[in-house]
Every structure is written in C-alpha cells, then in structure tokens.
C-alpha cells in the first residue's frame, strides 16, 4: 500500500453558525474527483444544533443523512457526492477532514 504523504490532505473544517440565515440552505453538494481514494470526516465538536451530512447519488438524491456526534468517523469513498447543511445553532461545528488517494499502488 502506498502511503505517500503527498497523497494525503488534512484540514480542519470549522462551520460557524449561520446567524444571518443568508448562506446555503440545503447544503453544498460536492464530490472529490479522484475516485481511487477515501475521505474521512472525524467530528471533534458537533456544535449545539449541528448540520447533518447528506450522502447523495450522482443525480443528487439523498441516500443517507448522517448526524454528527463527538468522535464519530464517517468514511466516504472519493467520487461519492455529499453535502453539509448550514449550521443553525449558536456554536461552531468542528470536524477534521482527511482525504487520501491512489492507495492501490504498492511500492
């Protein structure tokens, strides 16, 4: 398995409360285009009225809705559409995101 650090991306996702109610409402659908990898979402603090994560079909139909909880880890294969709803609570929602790709080659 190739675990080259250049093929792994990590970032902290801080979703602040949408107090002005003017931002996206039903989530921002997106996909990680390299289909040979995975994305891990690790919830560090779901906030007080946290935004759920929707898993979608290619036609953007919801197939599953995941409720964030402290310590919950969600694995999403790259190439799968997903979206996070706006944070309607009073506290930030914090998640660690780890995306890796091209693990199929051993060297």
- In terms of CATH, what superfamily is 7-100? Jelly Rolls (2.60.120.10)
Q: How far, CA to CA in Å, does 14 sit from each of 8, 9, 72, 97?
A: 19, 16, 16, 10
pTM over 0.85: no
Of 26, 19, 29, 16, which Cα lies nearest the Cα of 94? 16
Cβ 79 vs Cβ 14: under 8 Å: no
Q: What does pLDDT average to over the chain?
A: 81
- Per-residue pLDDT, averaged over 82-86, amounts to 86
- Report pLDDT digits (tens) over 45-83: 988 866 789 999 999 999 999 999 999 999 999 889 999
**How much of the chain exceeds pLDDT 90, in percent?**
32
User: Within 10 Å of residue 95's Cβ, how many Cβ atoms?
Assistant: 23
Q: Is the pLDDT of residue 19 over 80?
A: no
- The residue extents of the domains of the chain are 7-100
């Amino acid at each position: 398995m190739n675990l080259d650090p250049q093929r792994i991306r990590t970032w902290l996702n801080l979703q602040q409360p949408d107090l002005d109610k003017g931002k996206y409402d039903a989530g921002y659908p997106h996909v990680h285009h390299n289909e040979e990898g995975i994305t891990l979402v690790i919830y560090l603090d779901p906030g007080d009225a946290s935004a759920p994560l929707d898993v979608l079909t290619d036609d953007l139909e919801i197939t599953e809705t995941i409720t964030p909880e402290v310590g919950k880890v969600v694995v999403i294969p790259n190439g799968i559409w997903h979206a996070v709803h706006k944070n309607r609570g009073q506290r930030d929602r914090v998640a660690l995101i780890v995306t890796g790709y091209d693990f199929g080659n051993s060297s």
